[in-house]
Amino acid sequence: MKRESEVVGMDVLIVANETAGGEHLRAEVSRLMKLGANNFTLLVPATRPRGTLTYTEGEAHAIASERMAHAVTALSALGADIEGVVGIERPMDAVLDILLERHFDEIIVSTLPHGISRWLRMDLPARVARASGLPVHHIIGTGDRETVTA
């Protein structure tokens, strides 16, 4: 993580899906905003819906889009300058795609807890750090069971 004096003007990429609307993420964005960060991009990969054997790409995209819209509304209500993007299904590829298009100073990866997180099983936070060369901060949420409030 950057020192407090280096946070001002920082562009932060947030990678989340089921945890995108969580209080843990709102708390982290609030903390960074108090340090002067204001530019955020929320990337929600359109991953396979949990608990389903069959699904369409369109269904996965619609779920990710809804999660992204709710989270952007909640984070905007905090005063964050935030843009939401729905990425492709594979989260690592979605991150690589957006890193080709834009510059970021830091990445936040928000996952479900150990034991139920597919992203942690694939070691996504460490893989993103290696591939991007950027500071990656991993935070853990509880997923859709949290109520999104603006």
CA distance 49 to 110: 17
Q: Minimal CA–CA distance to 102: which of 32, 11, 16, 6?
A: 11
CA distance 11 to 34: 14
72 occurs within a structural domain = yes
150 occurs within a structural domain = no
Per-residue confidence (pLDDT) for residue 142, from 0 to 100: 84
69 occurs within a structural domain = yes
Is the predicted pLDDT of residue 100 greater than 90, yes or no? yes
Q: How confident is the model at residue 146 (pLDDT cuts 50, 70, 90)?
A: very low
pLDDT, one tens digit per residue, over 134-145 is 999 999 998 654
Per-residue confidence (pLDDT) for residue 150, from 0 to 100: 27
145 occurs within a structural domain = no
Counted domains in the chain: 1
Beta strands in 63-105 (DSSP E): 81-87
The amino acid occupying position 84 is G
147 occurs within a structural domain = no
For a pLDDT cut of 70, what percent of the chain falls above it?
85
CATH number of the CATH domain containing 21: 3.40.50.620
pLDDT, one tens digit per residue, over 28-83 is 999 999 998 989 999 999 987 766 666 778 888 999 999 999 999 999 999 999 99
Per-residue confidence (pLDDT) for residue 121, from 0 to 100: 95
56 occurs within a structural domain = yes
Rank 1-5, 21-25, 54-58 by mean pLDDT and report only the highest: 21-25
63 occurs within a structural domain = yes
- 8-17, 34-43, 55-64, 84-93: the lowest-pLDDT one: 55-64
87 occurs within a structural domain = yes
Is the predicted pLDDT of residue 114 greater than 70, yes or no? yes
What is the domain extent for residue 119?
4-140
**Reported pTM:** 0.87
